[in-house]
């Protein structure tokens, strides 16, 4: 590849974001780029003007795109940055567009343990790295060896966890740079035990979470020493609805698109839940979901 080459990916104009988000809501993206592969994405980033806003999209979970849509360019990595390989006996290389569920299964198939929890995360590795996604008591950065970054000038470089402030559902700083791949450091172990653990985790998820309706995953972070779902439920908010958006009857930390909700319905319901929990419990719940775009 050289700098004279032209990007090979697809550029979409005025693309409806509702097609790409798990909540099935959102306005249009001014532009959306679908890279051919990682090298193509590096090349495309070099073509962007410095002032062009850039937003990265994976599976579209943990994401609320407002009804006014997104200005600039959306980089759609889902199913595109998808290389995954075993580098050493206990090191797995994964590009940012690979789904967490497939990573979990790949690790099990290669006799590695420690990544089973990824089966319960409905997103890509890029998204999991960005928010230190976790499930069932484990977190993404617990198993990270190093990450490959890309900035808006098309430069790539390696970072380790020491370069970030990593905490519960938060990774900072990320100033005009994005994750494009990761090396996961795991341990060799009993694959049959790992597979059984994944089955149990997915069974628990199906029993406790609304997985067959449009939702983003958990909406609120758990406060220290407590659970957002418990607080919401004890405040009598299960089943509360604004427009087409409803607090799940199955799990109070989920908001479902029950009846053709728009983004403003969901955002209004998020605020209502925050206000009620603050009023009744004197606790201000912080959102886990990423909110982007303009209001109509």
Q: Decide if 217 is inside a domain.
A: no
Examine residue 173 and say whether the peptide bond preceding it is cis (omega within 30 degrees of 0). Answer: yes
Which pLDDT score is estimated for 151? 96
State the CATH number of the domain containing residue 55: 3.30.43.10
Which pLDDT score is estimated for 7? 87
DSSP letter at 6 equals P
% of the chain residues with pLDDT over 70: 99
Q: Is 157 exposed, middle or buried (0-12, 13-18, 19+ CB in 10 A)?
A: exposed
Tell me how far apart the alpha carbons of residues 45 and 43 are, in angstroms, rounded to a whole number. 6
28-34/70-76 β-pairing: parallel
State the CATH number of the domain containing residue 188: 3.30.465.10
Per residue in 59-100, pLDDT tens? 999 999 999 999 999 999 998 999 999 999 999 999 999 999
Q: Decide if 212 is inside a domain.
A: no
Q: How confident is the model at residue 2 (pLDDT cuts 50, 70, 90)?
A: very low
- Domain that includes residue 46, residue range: 10-76
Q: Decide if 214 is inside a domain.
A: no
Is residue 202 domain-shared with residue 146, that is, in the same domain?
yes
Complete DSSP assignment for 76-109: E-TTTS--EEEEETTEEEEETTSBHHHHHHHHHH
Which pLDDT score is estimated for 1? 45
Domains contained in the chain, number: 3
Q: How confident is the model at residue 137 (pLDDT cuts 50, 70, 90)?
A: confident
Is residue 241 domain-shared with residue 267, that is, in the same domain?
yes
Per residue in 143-170, pLDDT tens? 999 999 999 999 999 999 999 999 999 9
Is residue 286 domain-shared with residue 259, that is, in the same domain?
yes
Q: Decide if 216 is inside a domain.
A: no
Q: Of the residues 207, 242, 272, which one is the last residue of a structural domain?
A: 207
Distance from CA of residue 46 to its chain's centroid? 25
Q: Decide if 219 is inside a domain.
A: no
Q: Decide if 266 is inside a domain.
A: yes
Per residue in 188-230, pLDDT tens? 998 889 899 899 989 999 999 998 899 999 999 999 999 999 9
Q: Which residues are tagged catalytic?
A: 169, 218, 288
Q: Decide if 70 is inside a domain.
A: yes
Tell me how far apart the alpha carbons of residues 42 and 47 are, in angstroms, rounded to a whole number. 9
Is residue 94 domain-shared with residue 181, that is, in the same domain?
yes
Is residue 51 domain-shared with residue 164, that is, in the same domain?
no
Which pLDDT score is estimated for 4? 58
Q: Decide if 129 is inside a domain.
A: yes
- The total of other beta-carbon atoms located within 10 Å of residue 153's CB is 11
Q: Of the residues 76, 97, 114, which one is the last residue of a structural domain?
A: 76
């Amino acid at each position: 590849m050289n700098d004279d080459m032209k990007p090979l990916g697809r550029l979409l104009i005025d693309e409806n974001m509702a097609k790409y988000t798990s909540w099935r809501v959102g306005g249009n993206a001014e532009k959306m780029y679908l890279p051919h592969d990682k090298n193509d994405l590096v090349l495309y980033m070099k073509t962007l003007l410095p002032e062009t806003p850039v937003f990265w999209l994976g599976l579209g979970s943990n994401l609320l795109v407002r009804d006014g849509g997104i200005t600039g360019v959306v980089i759609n990595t889902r199913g595109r940055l998808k290389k995954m390989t075993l580098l050493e006996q206990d090191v797995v290389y994964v590009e940012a567009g690979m789904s967490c569920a497939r990573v979990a299964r790949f690790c099990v198939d290669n006799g590695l343990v420690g990544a089973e929890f990824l089966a319960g995360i409905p997103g890509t590795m890029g998204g999991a790295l960005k928010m230190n996604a976790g499930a069932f008591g484990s977190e993404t950065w617990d198993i990270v060896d190093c990450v490959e970054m890309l900035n808006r000038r098309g430069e790539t470089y390696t970072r380790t966890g020491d370069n970030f402030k990593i905490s519960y559902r938060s990774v900072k700083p990320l100033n005009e740079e994005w994750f494009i791949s990761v090396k996961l450091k795991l341990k060799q172990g009993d694959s049959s035990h790992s597979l059984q653990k994944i089955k149990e985790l997915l069974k628990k998820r199906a029993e406790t979470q609304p997985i067959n309706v449009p939702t983003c995953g958990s909406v609120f972070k758990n406060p220290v020493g407590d659970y957002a779902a418990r607080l919401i439920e004890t405040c009598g908010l299960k089943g509360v609805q604004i427009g087409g958006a409803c607090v799940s009857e199955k799990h109070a930390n989920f908001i479902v698109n029950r009846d053709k909700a728009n983004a403003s319905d969901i955002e209004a319901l998020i605020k209502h839940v925050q206000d009620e929990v603050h009023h009744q419990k004197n606790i201000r719940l912080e959102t886990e979901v990423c909110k982007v775009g303009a209001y109509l």
